[in-house]
Structure 1
Amino acid sequence: MADISLLSSVPLRIAATQNKIPSIKPASFAQIPSWVSLKSGSSSLKIPQNQQGQVENLHLVSLSKQGKLKEARDFLEQMEDAGVPVNPHSYTSLIQSCSKMRSLSDGILIHKHLRRTMNNPSGFLENCLLQMYCDCDSLRDAEKLFVEMSERNLVSWITLISAYSEQGNLKKSFGLFSKMVESGIRPNSTIFTSLLKSLSDPSVLEIGRQVHSLVIRTGLTTNVSIITVVSNMYVKCGWLEGAKLVFDQMVEKNAVAWTGLIMGYTQADQRKDALKLFVTMVNEGFELDEYVFSVVLKACAGLEDLNLGRQIHGYIVKLGLESDVFVGTPVVDLYVKCACFNSACRAFERISEPNDVSWSAIITGCCQAGQFEKSLELFKSLRMKDAVLNSFVYTSIFQACSALADFNVGAQVHADAIKRGLVSYLYGESAMITMYSKCGRLDYAKRAFESIDEPDTVAWTAIVCGHAYHGNASEALKLFRRMKDCVVRPNEVTFVGVLTACSHAGLVTEAKLYLESMSPEYGVEPTIDHYNCMIDIYSRAGLLQEAYKLIKGMAFEPDLMSWKCLLGGCWIHRNLELGKIAAENVLQLDPTDTSGYVLMFNLYALFGKWEEAAHVRSMMGARKLKKELSCSWITVKGKVHRFVVADKYHPQTEEIYEKLKEFNHSIMKDESELLTEEDVSFDLPERKQQLMDHSERLAIAFGLISLPANAPIIVFKNLRACKDCHDFAKHVSMVTGRKITIRDSCRFHHFHSGQCSCNDYW
């Protein structure tokens, strides 16, 4: 009955306009007609003067809060035409909506309307306008309004100074600050915070000190938030001593201050100090958040401190934060950098919602652990999910394709990265150069290099090493001279590429000059890697005594590679005495290195010393060592086909061996042919048959029956190619007219018309 009595009290003139009671709907200002009360003359209802325009202003506020600024502007004009006043609250709502939506054009029009209709707007309203112009990045309009303001209070000064500070315009922000102080307005913590946060470079440290002194004179040293900002300002300006001094004098420390100082030490590579500070923070019972864990885990990763990292990880698990992406991702990165790939995988699996940085970390970990195929699987799953990717992911995938020599996938990934705009400038481009070089497509590598506007050291090094790896010594050295002309400084890796180029071409004198010029001319100190290159150059050229003298006389302790280079030269040039010395050192440094045993056996066998050869073989048997299995692979129609010695498992085995028989009669070698690393049986009567079954021959034969006649045959091998198979490839290229490329563990061999790019010097 209460509802009936309520309805009966409605004025009769309203009830008379309707025959039925309308259904009650929720109130919505958006449904109010635009002209609801603008034609007041048509109604006999008299509205009190102090309530005039209430409904219109409510409608205006509703439109602004819904973001319907165009409709709000139109209605504003209609209200002005009808003489309905706009109250300050409506203007405030409109201006704040323009500020929130960053709509400068609407803000300017509303400001003009306010000027026409309101003589003396309040300071609050003018500050709203000032904030709107700052939020819309129109500081010129903001400063113009600021100058015209009838009354500038502390809020006005803070608004404009903060806006200039956020844009990094220190001259403007500190100029305004000086004027404010001169005008007698006392600065508060807010304005100091804004100014201090804008100081983030060592060049403005002195300004920061002056602001700090003013904070002290203003009596704000007991304000924890402002002193925390002072400490962080010193961190960003690179003055850690000052930051620590301020931190130590804080009456009450908070987690932000602790974290800021820990981050400062970490960024300055003072990681041990950062971790000590973290331990103190834990011992003093401060609450730890995601951010501080991300910082200390980065410090642990930089130090490769696995023990402490595991302890911190345990604490994270105890707090239940391991599923948080901002904590879980640094945990993954820590384990990746500490070479604990399995732990990295487990940590990654516990992240509830991994982001692009998480995926990048685990894919990088796969590559570092040699799990290149798994990294490609992860990448493909990401693409299927249409997940967010970043340039670091693509750079890692380029490296994986490089290691796998997978040109097809690499080219597809390259195209996808271009489409998404995620080819990292210089780093990603340099990785592409290396990828195409190692996939046998030096033409693509050149194009990738030439597309870089200003190649850096890494890019130049990548293309120099690419040509060196392909045996193009003259082009590699030409590029090195170009690099020098472009005033790009070479690094250690660049010189490894230069010396490798010399090694593959037998340029002994040139290599010696480059090695001697590294320190005085380029400021790059030679390392054991550069001396090993020189040892290899001497050994390949048959200058075995010079190589031995360099090993004995260099400033570095010879490593495994030093002696292996000499041993390889002794095998090529049949020097048993030096070979024995080199082999002894190889096996002393690494008793599991099978190549040392194989080369020494072959040397003894070559000189007819079968008793010594049998002893070497028995040593391998006693240590249960087996030579790494030779494997060659070729890609046909996007599928990789792998072959091992005497492989009979391929579906087209019969066709492959039939093709091989076509060439066998013309390439038979007499039994005096030199043995090679691939001769693992040590049984001479079986040698001829083994040569026919070598893995690269099977791959070449498969390429001949599977690829179009005009397509190049590109074969990859995990070990050094033997001389017999090298001659076989030359013969096939001459008979068939096909271009054949073999990449072995040392370099690329390009065969055409019976000739090899190495000129039989490898």
Structure 2
Amino acid sequence: MTILTLQSSYTPSPIPVLKHANFDRIPSWVSLKSSTSSVKIEHKQGQVENLHLVSLSKHGKLNEAFEFFQEMDKAGVSISPYSYQCLFEACRESRSLSHGRLLHHRMRTAFENPSVLLQNCVLQMYCGCGSLEDADKLFDEMPELNTVSRVTMISAYAEQGLLEKAVGLFSGMLESGDSPTSSVYTTLLKSLVNPSALDIGRQVHGHVIRAGLCSNPSIEAGILNMYVKCGWLVGAKLVFDQMAVKKSVAWTGLMIGYTQAGRSRDALKLFADFVSEGGNWDNFVFSVVLKSCASLEEINLGKQIHACVAKLGLESEVSVGTPLVDFYIKCSSFESACRAFEKICEPNDVTWSAIISGYCQMSQFEEAIKTFKSLRSKNAAVLNSFTYTSIFQACSVLADCNIGGQVHADAIKRSLIGSQYGESALITMYSKCGCLDDAHEVFESMDNPDIVAWTAFISGHAYYGNASEALKLFEKMVSCGMKPNSVTFIAVLTACSHAGLVAQGKDYLDTMLRKYNVAPTIDHYDCMIDIYSRAGLLDEALKFMKNMPFEPDSMSWKCFLSGCWTHKNLELGEIAGEELRQLDPEDTAGYVLPFNLYTRAGKWEEAAEMMKLMNKRMLKKELSCSWIREKGRIHRFIVGDKHHPQTQEIYEKLKEFDDFMEGDVFQCSMTERREQLLDHSERLAIAFGLISVNGNARAPIKVFKNLRACPDCHEFAKHVSLVTGHEIVIRDSRRFHHFKEGKCSCNDYW
């Protein structure tokens, strides 16, 4: 280290005023190590050294400052109270608790009775470093307390959620005769953030009134926000109405309260008043009002707000552009969302998350994944936990466990798995990809699974066809003290439906309200109709529909119609089809299923009439699509597909099963119909799977389909599993089917 020698001829200059000092001019290499020609420095000559110590502290050079501090100590140069103050501030800003404790110990030896100002600096340092234990101890030891001391501790308690201690300290101030300043009130009001604190908030409000501080703008805003956070909007509105001057923060604060309480109409009315009174619009106002428009799907009003944003030239601002994107997405206007997105100069993580969520909402799942991959390679900083949750959902729909697993690993690496919805989305993704072991691993890794996670795991087993395991999980969940919700019972009833557990399903429906305090909705009754219909109890299903406390909706008749098709009941199927077409004329099931029933019964004129009705209403049956993953690539097939590079091999493989098409197991009177069945997408996918495994009988063939598997193809898969010895897994739009040795895991309940 370079040595600075102080000669005896040195005459100290007056200390410059610190606030005007240029600390950069004093080099950081200054040392107090003296040479043999040096003279002993007198304490009053330590002004330059203290000035340099302050400089290092204020420039955040904490390690250098402490090194110089120790040199001063060794040289016998006293450290001024102001130097200590600056050092404590530097420790607080860098959250260096170890340095702060060391400095506090040194201060105790240097000053027998430190001033309350210096003690407060130590107190603020401990609070800033998050050591409330040290702060508590010091606070109790301080012989003299002032308002700064108490405000510091009240703020620290409030920030840590220790409301009882914060309020206790506030009460102590009042009992000691101290008059709390406005900062004490604002600090305490900020800590009152939930309904349980409302009574305390009212008492604090009362003290504010008695202290004559109601006209203080910051306290007024604090009281209003406190009432909003505590859920007492009546009180918030009273405070708002009594304000002499209503600033934008007050307007937006109350609007937020209305929006969070689901009173978006009131929020928009308040916004209209804000505009009529000539309020100053800012970015936050736009954000709040657009959220209200989104919740009500008020597309026209939202567009007017957008026009104001454009007029003010704020479209490129991320704080305004992001709420615009979110608004259009929630109003299902994705093209407008994309245009708003393109206007934003620097989209942040929330913006990108919103646009990826929009892709998923519009069923553009592959585009969502493509956007995610691009972001990950170019600007990973804008990824957040919500983005990963959306991608998990996209992989779930696409049944792409390969990409889903990679994204899961990446989310773990970045610590971006949402603790609530992210983990539940992972469970759903693995379940729908047929990877229940991975879903189980995610579930078991959760410290305290919430109802969303439990429901996702129960749904996974129900979807997989493991009804007994799903119901065991439900009972285990209840025994753990977790209260089921409406969605949980949908999963439970679905499990019963897929296993033909009619009596158990009815028992769960009947005990929902009585035992679990969950009121059944039409969705739960539709599940029960599905249970009866799948089991072939069509008369019981019809009777149940007539007696249930809800009018049957389109889904009620759709479930019943599906049962009529499965169990070949044309008479009841005609009734169900007519009811479904009246309630939802756009649903193709109301035409396709009756058409299938008529053709099976040989009623060609009636079948043709169904097709005429569909054509008249310009309806088209959703195209059947099946896909299979092989060596990291996805191979897709549609009905009659002949575009695959291995088309010839695929059809030759299917011809090997001609005996099944002609045999007793599969009854079909029409040659043309048999040829059509040969072209079904799931059969093409199965044939490709058989070619790809190259005789490896241990490798299961996994096929995914966007629609429900047809009964004929279901029988075909059973036959193929018996003849070839291969296990075949088909995931259709309703559930998983495991075909092994000529049997299906669904036991024909599907």
Question: What TM-score, normalized by structure 2, do the two folds share?
Answer: 0.88
**Is 1:477 the equivalent of 2:471?**
yes
Aligned to 2:739: 751
Displacement after TM superposition at 1:71 (Å): 3.6
**Is 1:358 the equivalent of 2:351?**
yes
Aligned to 2:258: 265
1:527-582 per-residue CA deviation (whole Å, 9 max, x = no partner) reads 32233333333333333332333333333222223223333333343333323222
Aligned to 1:697: 683
Mapping of residues 129-148 of structure 1, within 5 Å: 129-139=122-132, 141-142=134-135
CA spacing shift, 1:55–1:652, aligned 2, 3 Å: same
Displacement after TM superposition at 1:649 (Å): 0.8
Aligned to 1:379: 372
Aligned to 2:640: 646
**Is 1:56 the equivalent of 2:49?**
yes
**Is 1:411 the equivalent of 2:415?**
no
For the residues of structure 1 that align with 2:666 and 2:94, how far apart are their CA atoms? 86
Mapping of residues 344-493 of structure 1, within 5 Å: 344-385=337-378, 386-493=380-487
For the residues of structure 2 that align with 1:372 and 1:495, how far apart are their CA atoms? 28
Structure 1 gap segments, 5+ residues each: 1-10, 15-25, 676-683
- Equivalent residues of 1:32, 1:59 under 8 A apart: no
Letter in 2 for 1:163: A
For the residues of structure 2 that align with 1:457 and 1:657, how far apart are their CA atoms? 48
For the residues of structure 2 that align with 1:117 and 1:484, how far apart are their CA atoms? 63
CA spacing shift, 1:183–1:756, aligned 2, 3 Å: closer
**Is 1:724 the equivalent of 2:712?**
yes
Letter in 1 for 2:541: A
Aligned to 1:313: 306
- Equivalent residues of 1:629, 1:644 under 8 A apart: yes
Letter in 2 for 1:353: E
- Equivalent residues of 2:225, 2:236 under 8 A apart: yes
Aligned to 1:545: 539
Indicate the SS of the match to 1:387.
helix
Letter in 2 for 1:707: V
For the residues of structure 2 that align with 1:568 and 1:150, how far apart are their CA atoms? 82
For the residues of structure 2 that align with 1:320 and 1:266, how far apart are their CA atoms? 26
Mapping of residues 183-222 of structure 1, within 5 Å: 183-222=176-215
Q: 1:34 aligns with which of 19, 31, 35?
A: 31
For the residues of structure 1 that align with 2:583 and 2:296, how far apart are their CA atoms? 28
For the residues of structure 2 that align with 1:179 and 1:590, how far apart are their CA atoms? 68
Letter in 2 for 1:702: F
CA spacing shift, 1:249–1:651, aligned 2, 3 Å: same
Q: 1:589 aligns with which of 580, 583, 586?
A: 583
1:326-354 per-residue CA deviation (whole Å, 9 max, x = no partner) reads 32222222222222222222222222222
Q: 1:604 aligns with which of 598, 605, 613?
A: 598
For the residues of structure 2 that align with 1:514 and 1:355, how far apart are their CA atoms? 46
- Equivalent residues of 2:352, 2:382 under 8 A apart: no
Indicate the SS of the match to 1:67.
coil
Aligned to 1:715: 703
Aligned to 2:658: 664
CA spacing shift, 1:378–1:171, aligned 2, 3 Å: same
1:119-168 per-residue CA deviation (whole Å, 9 max, x = no partner) reads 66555444434433333334555455556667654444444444344334
Letter in 2 for 1:542: G
For the residues of structure 2 that align with 1:120 and 1:363, how far apart are their CA atoms? 61
CA spacing shift, 1:413–1:86, aligned 2, 3 Å: closer
Indicate the SS of the match to 2:704.
strand
- Equivalent residues of 1:606, 1:674 under 8 A apart: no
- Equivalent residues of 1:234, 1:242 under 8 A apart: yes
1:498-518 per-residue CA deviation (whole Å, 9 max, x = no partner) reads 333333333333333333333
- Equivalent residues of 1:64, 1:97 under 8 A apart: yes
For the residues of structure 1 that align with 2:470 and 2:521, how far apart are their CA atoms? 21
Indicate the SS of the match to 2:347.
coil
Letter in 2 for 1:231: L
Farther-moved stretch of structure 1 (197-206 vs 655-664)? 197-206
Indicate the SS of the match to 1:251.
coil
Letter in 2 for 1:363: I
1:180-219 per-residue CA deviation (whole Å, 9 max, x = no partner) reads 4555543322222222222333333333333333323333
CA spacing shift, 1:162–1:534, aligned 2, 3 Å: closer
Letter in 1 for 2:656: E
CA spacing shift, 1:690–1:671, aligned 2, 3 Å: farther
Aligned to 2:247: 254
Mapping of residues 101-112 of structure 1, within 5 Å: 101-112=94-105
For the residues of structure 1 that align with 2:119 and 2:467, how far apart are their CA atoms? 73
1:585-633 per-residue CA deviation (whole Å, 9 max, x = no partner) reads 2333334444433333343334443333333344344444443332211
Aligned to 2:494: 500
- Equivalent residues of 1:426, 1:452 under 8 A apart: no
Aligned to 1:3: none
Displacement after TM superposition at 1:699 (Å): 0.8
Aligned to 2:558: 564
How many equivalent pairs are there?
728
- Equivalent residues of 1:636, 1:707 under 8 A apart: no
Indicate the SS of the match to 2:636.
strand
Letter in 1 for 2:383: L
- Equivalent residues of 1:464, 1:498 under 8 A apart: yes
- Alignment RMSD: 3.2
CA spacing shift, 1:543–1:384, aligned 2, 3 Å: same
Aligned to 2:277: 284
Aligned to 1:331: 324
Displacement after TM superposition at 1:301 (Å): 2.4
- Equivalent residues of 2:628, 2:636 under 8 A apart: yes
Displacement after TM superposition at 1:724 (Å): 3.0
1:74-120 per-residue CA deviation (whole Å, 9 max, x = no partner) reads 43343344444444443333333223223333334434444544566
1:432-491 per-residue CA deviation (whole Å, 9 max, x = no partner) reads 222222222333333333444443333333233333323333333333333333333333
For the residues of structure 2 that align with 1:119 and 1:749, how far apart are their CA atoms? 81
Displacement after TM superposition at 1:272 (Å): 2.1
Q: 1:275 aligns with which of 260, 268, 271?
A: 268
CA spacing shift, 1:327–1:670, aligned 2, 3 Å: same
Indicate the SS of the match to 2:533.
helix
CA spacing shift, 1:541–1:278, aligned 2, 3 Å: same
- Equivalent residues of 1:30, 1:62 under 8 A apart: no
Displacement after TM superposition at 1:280 (Å): 1.5
Aligned to 1:686: 672
For the residues of structure 1 that align with 2:709 and 2:367, how far apart are their CA atoms? 28
Aligned to 1:23: none
CA spacing shift, 1:628–1:478, aligned 2, 3 Å: same
Mapping of residues 294-313 of structure 1, within 5 Å: 294-313=287-306
Indicate the SS of the match to 1:30.
coil
- Equivalent residues of 2:530, 2:559 under 8 A apart: yes
For the residues of structure 1 that align with 2:133 and 2:597, how far apart are their CA atoms? 84
Structure 2 gap segments, 5+ residues each: 1-6, 11-22
Q: 1:580 aligns with which of 559, 563, 574?
A: 574
For the residues of structure 2 that align with 1:40 and 1:540, how far apart are their CA atoms? 102
Letter in 1 for 2:646: Q
Larger radius of gyration, structure 1 or 2?
1
- Equivalent residues of 2:359, 2:368 under 8 A apart: yes
- Equivalent residues of 2:564, 2:573 under 8 A apart: yes
